[in-house]
């Protein structure tokens, strides 16, 4: 039997979610913009989904924008806010020269490529300065550095809620307060958090927030951007003006319904699931550190995602380790499942000050269901088996 320990890829979409979606793929397959009866049914389902999602994310229905996933939501928030700034500065100054002080995007040094590359795009095409705010050895953003930079002026700051590679939960609320004191809006990438730990958009006081469906049991290719009306944003996709003009295109009604049901399921499981996953996680961490004395836990030991255990095994090549584990029926990830081109060291670990070689020995074990003691034993047994196998390879390479 295979043990899937890569939460993003595991579990699949539940029957409840699929059943809720089916009517909107079959008999109620109308365009929600149409005025006929079926169109109205679709429109009602879309707005019910919006309401339910808003409630589960501490947002308002008119603040929810449906997108094609976390990547699109991050792109829309970052580029959209920056382009609104460009438009405003053109209107006020006639050119870009007046706003150089604020043509800056601050991003934590451990952001997902969907954020980091969007900021880089703004640099390449619009000359924005991208400032990376350092993190400590546990991947927590340096709030003093953020404060210092934010006071030099910025268009936007981006802080993720929880890190995909090492599971650290970031001090987002504090970061938002610091940025707002300097009048700088904040985008929060909550892809790893939404559906896993409580996310409250208004309580965080963020200006925009990203969530992604496949992290909480919705089909892949479905995302959410929460956006406060106070923040200006240009659309990246032009067309018929759906989603408040910010994301044109015929809405994916079945997808929105699936998103809403999956999020509702995930949120109602949370009160019992979080403590169970946390103890599962801590037992696994202890077992791994005990069985493999040279292994090191990465990320914050306490403030971390409930079903997330990540390690480095200095001296080992993680790629080889996960391939060998796979042959033993244990599917894990060597860092972030979202980054392709595994020969690169996970960027979060480098930002945490780790050497490239150590970073390349990183393994991430993530799960949405608690692990049984049998699961834990299988993981340890598999790990010890794989490590024994790889030590031979490593001494051979070093010889």
Q: Which residues bind ligand PLP (CB under 6 A)?
A: 8, 69-71, 74, 112, 114, 160, 164, 189, 191-192, 212, 214, 223, 338
DSSP letters along 271-308, please? HHHHHHHHHHHHHHHHHHHHHSTT-EE-S-SSSB-TTE
**Which residue among 179, 226, 267, 338 is the active-site one?**
338
Q: How far is CA 83 from CA 77, 126, 130, 236, in A?
A: 10, 9, 15, 9
- Residue 294 is encoded by which pair of tokens? 């040279």
Q: How many residues does the chain have?
A: 399
Write down the least CB distance from residue 181 to ligand PLP, Å: 26
Distance of alpha carbon 185 from alpha carbon 180, whole angstroms: 6
Closest CB to ligand PLP among residues 235, 335: 335
Residue 338 annotated among the catalytic residues of the structure: yes
Write down the least CB distance from residue 215 to ligand PLP, Å: 7
Torsion of CA 287, 289, 290, 293, to 10 degrees: 160
Write down the least CB distance from residue 33 to ligand PLP, Å: 25
Write down the least CB distance from residue 112 to ligand PLP, Å: 3
Q: What are phi and psi of 48, to 5 degrees?
A: -65, -40
Closest CB to ligand PLP among residues 69, 382: 69
Closest CB to ligand PLP among residues 71, 386: 71
Distance of alpha carbon 166 from alpha carbon 309, whole angstroms: 7
Write down the least CB distance from residue 177 to ligand PLP, Å: 22
Write down the least CB distance from residue 190 to ligand PLP, Å: 8
Mark residue 195 as left, alpha or beta (left: phi above 0; alpha: psi -120 to 50; beta: remaining): left
Distance of alpha carbon 98 from alpha carbon 101, whole angstroms: 8
Distance of alpha carbon 312 from alpha carbon 318, whole angstroms: 8
Closest CB to ligand PLP among residues 190, 387: 190
Task: Name all contacts of 22-28 with Cβ < 8 Å and 24+ positions apart.
Answer: 22/254, 24/253, 24/254, 24/257, 25/254, 28/253
Closest CB to ligand PLP among residues 223, 382: 223
Closest CB to ligand PLP among residues 189, 265: 189
Q: Which residues are catalytic?
A: 338
């Amino acid at each position: 039997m295979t043990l899937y320990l890569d939460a993003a890829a595991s579990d699949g979409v539940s029957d409840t979610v699929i059943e809720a979606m089916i009517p909107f793929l079959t008999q109620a397959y109308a365009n929600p913009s149409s005025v006929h009866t079926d169109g109205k049914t679709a429109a009602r389902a879309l707005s019910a989904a919006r309401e339910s999602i808003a409630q589960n994310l501490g947002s308002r229905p008119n603040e929810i924008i449906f997108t094609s996933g976390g990547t699109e939501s991050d792109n829309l928030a970052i580029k959209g806010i920056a382009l609104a700034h460009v438009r405003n500065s053109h209107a006020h100054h006639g050119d870009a020269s007046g706003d150089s002080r604020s043509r800056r995007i601050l991003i934590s040094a451990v952001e997902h490529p969907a954020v980091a590359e969007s900021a880089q795009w703004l640099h390449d095409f619009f000359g924005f300065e991208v400032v990376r705010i350092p993190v400590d050895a546990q991947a927590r953003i340096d709030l003093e550095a953020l404060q210092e930079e934010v006071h030099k002026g910025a268009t936007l700051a981006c802080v993720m809620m929880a890190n995909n590679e090492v599971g650290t939960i970031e001090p987002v609320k504090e970061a938002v307060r610091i940025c707002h004191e300097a009048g700088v809006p904040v985008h929060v990438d909550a892809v790893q958090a939404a559906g896993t730990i409580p996310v409250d958009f208004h309580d965080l006081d963020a200006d925009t927030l990203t969530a992604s469906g496949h992290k909480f049991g919705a089909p892949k290719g479905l995302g959410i951007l929460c956006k406060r009306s106070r923040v200006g944003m240009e659309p990246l996709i032009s067309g018929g003006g759906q989603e408040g003009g910010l994301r044109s295109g015929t809405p994916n009604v079945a997808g929105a319904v699936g998103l809403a049901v999956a999020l509702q399921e995930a949120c109602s499981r949370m009160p019992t699931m979080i403590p169970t996953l946390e103890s599962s996680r801590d037992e696994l961490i202890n077992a791994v550190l005990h069985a493999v004395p040279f292994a090191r836990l990465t990320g914050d030991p306490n403030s971390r995602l409930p079903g997330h255990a990540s390690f480095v095994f200095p001296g080992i090549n993680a790629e080889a380790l996960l391939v060998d584990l796979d042959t033993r029926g244990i599917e894990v990830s060597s860092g972030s499942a979202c980054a392709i081109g595994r020969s690169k060291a996970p960027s979060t670990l480098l930002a945490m000050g780790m050497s490239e070689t150590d970073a390349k020995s990183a393994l991430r074990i993530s799960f949405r269901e608690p692990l049984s003691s049998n699961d834990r034993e299988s993981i340890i047994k598999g790990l010890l088996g794989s490590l024994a196998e790889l030590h031979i390879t490593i001494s051979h390479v070093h010889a």
